[in-house]
Amino acid sequence: MFRRHNIAARIFDRQISTVAPGTSVHHTRRFYENLVPNCTIYEVECPDHLYRKITEDGQYLICFSRNHQDLIVYRPTWLSYSCKEECDTNDLPPKAKRFESFFSQLYCVSLASSNELICKDFFLYMESNQFGLFATSTTQNHDAPVGGAVQGVPSIEKITFHLLRLEDGVVLDQKCFHNDFINLAHNMGVFLYDDLLAIVSIRYQTIHILQIRDSGNLVDIRAIGTFCREDDELFLNSSTQSMLSHEKGKLHQLPENPVENGLHQSEPSSDYCFLSGIKQRLLSFIFRGIWNEEPDQALRVQSLKKKFYFHFQDYVDLVIWKVQFLDRHHLLIKFGSVDGGVSRNADQHPAFFAVYNMETTEIAAFYQNTADELYLLFEQFCDHFHATSRNSLYLNFISSHSNNMHAREQLRSAKNKASSSLQFVKKMLVSLPFSCQSQSPSPYFDQSLFRFDEKLISATDRHRQSTDHPIKFILRRPPNTLKFKIKTGPEAGSTDSRTKKISSFIFHPFLPLALSIQQNLSLQPSVVNIHFRK
């Protein structure tokens, strides 16, 4: 069908025709083809902060100070200016070409105290309450107590989560973890779903489930790991105590009974000799699966021997790496070997995925990272893995291969090109569980609207290697023309081409406004460009 690209003609079209039911938002989003951030202010003068992101509702620009001590919050505003003298309509007056014309500072608060620093890669936003979650931590601690901890996992003396009301920067609540390890880079170890927060302690193999109350309190709901239900430990202690009280009665009669004294002493260490709650669930799930699969007694024993007992210790040694919510009850948990959880190239290690229902404390499914079944679910229902909070408007439009035909085609061609399907499945499943709030909802990353080089830029919030060439955004539909370019760094290109530079992008969720930040690895201030529609 021939469609006109002139914006006036489009508005006219919108007036006289109705679109197919259920597509009105998609149709309205096509106006973004006309409204693009095609104007760039190069090397804008701006405070030397670490720019983190613009919240999903476009209300706040989150920045941290260079010394990792303070949080600085700006309100993104639309550029407006007036000039007394004759105005050149083609160019902005120099006074308007400032950071402050686009962002007005709301406040600056100090988050880090004494020896703690803000983790610049960590920030979660709770849109419904406009709460922000930040983390500060001390440096790695090499002589941490070992009791109950997984060997080979680093320890951080203190990690503090801060819940802030972003409206005015008031700290509402804090939650500390001591001598623990939580992967804070790119929000990996923490997942927010509605008001529920899952924090993975890798060192103590515990998934802490917290609730963020409307009052601004962080409330512990349960800890999944050694135990499954929230009152398991209490139950165990109270029933062991009642057992002991019986024994104590006996003890008075026979004070020098050696067996019972021995029993008392073995009490504290008893936690470590049993399988942890989550492992018991996992192992019994695997066992049941193999048991029920084979009705013949003798064959069943053979198959259990080969598939279960032979690998038993490997299953016991599995470590929880990462967790995400699938809905309010189900968690997708990734298990792997100890070295895989901490090292960067985690895809080299075998990994497993479990779906765990934290209400019934049952494992619902268990897959290896080479499982075709899981891959097919991932291919067809990718959006179900992107569990976003219900009330989040823009996040529903993030392109994925299950809601976008262009992304799907790209995936298919990558799949066909892959030399081994096993390797391909493995590679794709590396992204599971998803990191929380790691994608920008900006319409300029909508793959049904624009085409761009995903190696240089994408909705995923990551640092990328910077090139001197501008990144082109090309219309997906005919006439497939170049609509705008995003160029990082100085306008003339950088003078020093030897040093490696990385860039990051902060897109506004719905306005044609973006920041590009180019840094080189030395400590020079970064080059910030503002991209907007004039």
Picking from 169, 170, 171, the residue whose alpha carbon sits closest to that of residue 72 is: 169
**Of the candidate residues 109, 117, 221, 283, the single one contacting another protein (CB under 8 A):** 283
Report residue 37 CA to chain centroid gap.
27
Rounded to 5 degrees, what are φ and ψ at 17? Answer: -125, 150
| 497 touches another protein by CB under 8 A | no
**Of the candidate residues 27, 229, 476, 485, the single one contacting another protein (CB under 8 A):** 229
Stretch that binds another protein, among 56-64, 86-94, 280-288, 471-479 (CB under 8 A): 280-288
User: What is the residue whose two structure tokens read 């695997």?
Assistant: 286
CA distance 454 to 463: 12
DSSP strand E in 120-205: where? 124-126, 131-137, 156-165, 170-180, 190-193, 196-201
**Of the candidate residues 4, 75, 305, 463, the single one contacting another protein (CB under 8 A):** 305
Report the b/e string of 85-98 with b at 16+ CB within 10 A. Answer: eeeeeeebeeebbb
Q: How far is the CB of 315 from another protein (least distance, A)?
A: 10
CA distance 181 to 459: 28
Nearer to another protein, 265 or 391 (CB): 265
| 195 touches another protein by CB under 8 A | no
The helix or strand, by DSSP H or E, that contains position 212, with its residue range, turns out to be strand 206-212
**Of the candidate residues 119, 192, 218, 228, the single one contacting another protein (CB under 8 A):** 228
| 238 touches another protein by CB under 8 A | no
Provide the 8-state DSSP code for 127: T
**Of the candidate residues 28, 67, 270, 343, the single one contacting another protein (CB under 8 A):** 270
| 300 touches another protein by CB under 8 A | yes
**Of the candidate residues 97, 208, 281, 408, the single one contacting another protein (CB under 8 A):** 281
Stretch that binds another protein, among 275-283, 368-376, 489-497, 519-527 (CB under 8 A): 275-283
Question: Which long-range CB contacts under 8 A does 167-176 form with residues at least 24 apart?
Answer: 167/130, 168/106, 168/107, 169/71, 169/73, 169/106, 169/107, 169/108, 169/109, 171/109, 171/111, 172/131, 172/215, 172/216, 172/217, 173/216, 173/217, 173/218, 174/218, 175/210, 175/218
Stretch that binds another protein, among 212-220, 246-254, 391-399, 488-496 (CB under 8 A): 246-254
Contact 105, 73 (CB under 8 A): yes
Q: How far is the CB of 201 from another protein (least distance, A)?
A: 21
Nearer to another protein, 4 or 288 (CB): 288
Q: How far is the CB of 56 from another protein (least distance, A)?
A: 39
**Of the candidate residues 310, 347, 380, 431, the single one contacting another protein (CB under 8 A):** 310
How many residues of this chain interact with another protein, rule: CB under 8 A?
47
CA distance 173 to 434: 26
| 255 touches another protein by CB under 8 A | no
Give the N- to C-terminal CA distance of the chain in Å, as an integer.
31
Q: Quick count: other Cβ atoms within 10 Å of Cβ 301? A: 13
Q: How far is the CB of 204 from another protein (least distance, A)?
A: 19
Q: How far is the CB of 38 from another protein (least distance, A)?
A: 60
Q: How far is the CB of 322 from another protein (least distance, A)?
A: 24
- Mask for 346-365, x = binds another protein (CB under 8 A): ---------------xx---
Provide the 8-state DSSP code for 216: S
CA distance 33 to 30: 6
Q: What are the residues binding another protein (CB under 8 A)?
A: 228-229, 232, 235-236, 239-240, 242-247, 250, 260, 263, 266-267, 269-270, 273-275, 277, 280-281, 283-284, 287-288, 291, 297-298, 300-302, 304-305, 308-314, 361-362
